[in-house]
Structure 1
């Protein structure tokens, strides 16, 4: 904030502070040169934009260098249901009935292929095959094989494109979750929601472009930690970071005015602070100052828009029947799915729901029953609700985790109890709506769901495909940082999986 003594700009500035004259002059020349070059570049860019712009969206940062979408999008918005801890593909979407015949047999060394194992199973002398204890049936016209753990989701599975050949580079949770969400295993990169906010901008100026919801858990052991770096804007402007809504108190911290502060007084305070920030920008030309002004304005508007968003009193009884009784409890996965639909209606560009507890190293059958029961009905309700409102056609819904699980059991094995270790070589996810080819299946795994047999799909390919459905060319959405044109898909090759596009 500009250190002026009043809002008029007539008070003492940083140039009036007792610093050496030579240093003051050098600082002023640098600021003036930076402003001149910046303004010149912006003037040229805006002149070109006036000729080129034909209803296309522009980044909410106001940067005319980012003119998107690159082509007509299939989806206007996206909802990402992220199952942190890595759901087992054997108990969800990769049906392997022949494994029953191989119960407790050692996984052939030729299949493992000398794979590096985690420290949790590296000392095992045996790798006994553990078939899933759950039954599968084909459902709908598409005939997707669905686990009995998902009776509700099975009813909407015709909307899905199931991807069975995902793979990733990381074998441990933290780097794998970072890679899935930011395209890099090193913290500090921009998240997928932030890239989409940067590229496409806002659809509703009264709500954040990127919203994050974390779900209360039915289990309280082996829970993956979640941190804001998963929805960080990284090197992008802070306005593109995900806004996390809380389940208790104000949905956003400090949303309510302090006691004795009226909305009118808050408006006057923000106007004064913004005026000082504009003076600072005029002197220095730092774009972060404009981002700060935009954030203050958004926070003020959210004081009215967020309470309306979170007031569910207008939802009919039929909706509560769809989502289930837990939807009335703030912070549950069911509540968050209903909130995601309400945000889709109101133009939130990217909503991400995190659900934890999927790290099933032991007691897998029991844990999977609890976890799947928690998400099954709300997930199906979200898909059906979007469809009945005409929103599914232009809303992309993504479901999945950071990697898969091993066919062999970790520790002991019985027909009633087993666990599975981390497995980055293959895992399953699905997408629905927003330009996805309904009823399709992409990729195959071998008979052990240990290696990919057909059509490998890296996690970078998934992110490239998500961007494509939103009208973004992943190769062209870049931001120069540390001497590199940064991209969500990184520097390694990535492709759009066109086989699952409608």
Structure 2
């Protein structure tokens, strides 16, 4: 029916009845967000540039052009990998002194234990490289590149359980709903490659470890939806719903998008909803990705020595090694933020055996990625980050035996390392006590880490904000200091 043929014979009672809910909604909207009531008049957010970034950003010359974040979900044990504690080994089996624990918060998994037997590592530690960094024999490949690394051994967080801790590290808040780091980077800085997303996510296939990963960890939160991370999968369709259905070719798809864009422009002129533009940007990106994604996912032309460098798993799509190789290829195409997730580090029991498997999956590929970037001259403007959401306890969860134990969650100290652009090489920042339980030198909060990451990208973390529900939000909330000691 033609929209012009409508009934104009409304009584006063009809008008009040049909509009009562609408008038109430308008009143409520005006109280909750008066500036957002009429989208066409909302000029609170900075206007985006053609590349998708925001005018005036970067705030200063960036040291980093792109980031590859190797997130180790489940929390690797720093005491068995990086943080060497001879006293802990010496006092193995003795109870953790109350003066060291100091009544700190425990998880429900160990709070009921009658004792807290100290668990020294079963693995050998040595110093490596000119820097003399301590590493366990679980990571022989990474040990060879320690002079490229910057260790922070004094990281701490506020969250004691996995989901809030990962959410906090990835979004700046323990409460779900905030934009992820990659989304903030995409929103502020835009793209250097029009044919691939600014923010790509790769998840190791087949790894669970009991702790699920949620898409909101790479979500856009309240930022425009084109800034959410795009997950690339192994298999026939790396990006879901990207291929054309049967009977639709590229020409027909282009014609469809052109007509749809004309309609959406009219729609946006009418109501001013920015999500209309975001949706169209995603449609256009998907169209370009139909060509670019198959090209970048095809590693068959990589020389054999590259596969040897990354390890035999690099030929198996979906493995951590294969994803590291893909990350390098994406970095070459100027994808700005590449996030890898590798699960399985949550070792409450059987840690000695389980951690060997994790290191075998990740050690060689991590070192290869750093080496590969360096030999291509890309480590000069690429930042590589490795770490989990918190640390592990120095005492055993449950029974301690000579060759087996587990470690509980420990938010008060953990270790990460970084390599590449803007970071000092071959240094260690911060330290924990002789028991590996408390930070005693240069504490580094999660928000400090996030502020430093943004600083390296040329962004003042206090100035990249987005107004939502009457408040200006930022990645670091109202906290965060740049870690100047590690800046090159």
Decide: shared fold, TM above 0.5. yes
Partner residue, 2:226: 239
Partner residue, 1:301: 288
> Which of 399, 421, 429 lines up with 2:386 in the alignment?
399
SS class of match (2:254): helix
Distance in 1 (alpha carbons) for counterparts of 2:74 and 2:88: 24
Distance in 2 (alpha carbons) for counterparts of 1:230 and 1:20: 53
Partner residue, 1:315: 302
SS class of match (1:267): helix
- Alignment of 1:252 onto 2:252: no
Output one character per residue of 1:363-404: Cα deviation in whole Å (capped at 9) or x when no partner: 000001000010001000000000011111100111000000
Distance in 1 (alpha carbons) for counterparts of 2:379 and 2:391: 27
Partner residue, 2:169: 180
Report which stretch shifted further, 332-341 or 479-488.
479-488
SS class of match (2:108): coil
> Which of 126, 138, 146 lines up with 1:149 in the alignment?
138
- Alignment of 1:118 onto 2:104: no
TM-score (norm 2): 0.92
CA contact (8 A) 1:60 1:198 kept: no
> Which of 355, 365, 370 lines up with 1:378 in the alignment?
365
Partner residue, 1:495: 481
SS class of match (1:312): coil
Distance in 1 (alpha carbons) for counterparts of 2:284 and 2:328: 25
Report which stretch shifted further, 417-426 or 258-267.
258-267
SS class of match (1:117): coil
Cα 1:88–1:325 change in 2 (3 A) is: same
> Which of 225, 231, 250 lines up with 2:212 in the alignment?
225
SS class of match (1:81): strand
- Alignment of 1:455 onto 2:442: yes
Partner residue, 2:122: 133
Distance in 2 (alpha carbons) for counterparts of 1:225 and 1:429: 21
CA contact (8 A) 1:60 1:201 kept: yes
CA contact (8 A) 1:397 1:433 kept: yes
Cα 1:37–1:148 change in 2 (3 A) is: same
Distance in 2 (alpha carbons) for counterparts of 1:120 and 1:402: 18
> Which of 195, 214, 221 lines up with 2:203 in the alignment?
214
Partner residue, 2:331: 344
CA contact (8 A) 1:215 1:333 kept: yes
SS class of match (1:313): coil
CA contact (8 A) 2:118 2:394 kept: yes
Output one character per residue of 1:321-361: Cα deviation in whole Å (capped at 9) or x when no partner: 10111111111000000000000000100000000000010
Partner residue, 1:103: 92
CA contact (8 A) 2:70 2:385 kept: yes
Output one character per residue of 1:402-435: Cα deviation in whole Å (capped at 9) or x when no partner: 0000000001112210100000000000010011
Structure 2 unaligned segments of length 5 or more: list them.
27-33
| Cα RMSD after superposing both structures | 2.4
Cα 1:35–1:228 change in 2 (3 A) is: closer
Report which stretch shifted further, 270-279 or 402-411.
270-279
> Which of 368, 375, 383 lines up with 1:388 in the alignment?
375
Deviation above 6 Å: which 4+ runs of structure 1? Answer: 15-23
CA contact (8 A) 1:194 1:232 kept: yes
Structure 1 unaligned segments of length 5 or more: list them.
6-11, 47-56
State the Cα distance separating 1:249 from its structure 2 match. Answer: 2.2
TM-score (norm 1): 0.89
> Which of 183, 187, 192 lines up with 1:203 in the alignment?
192
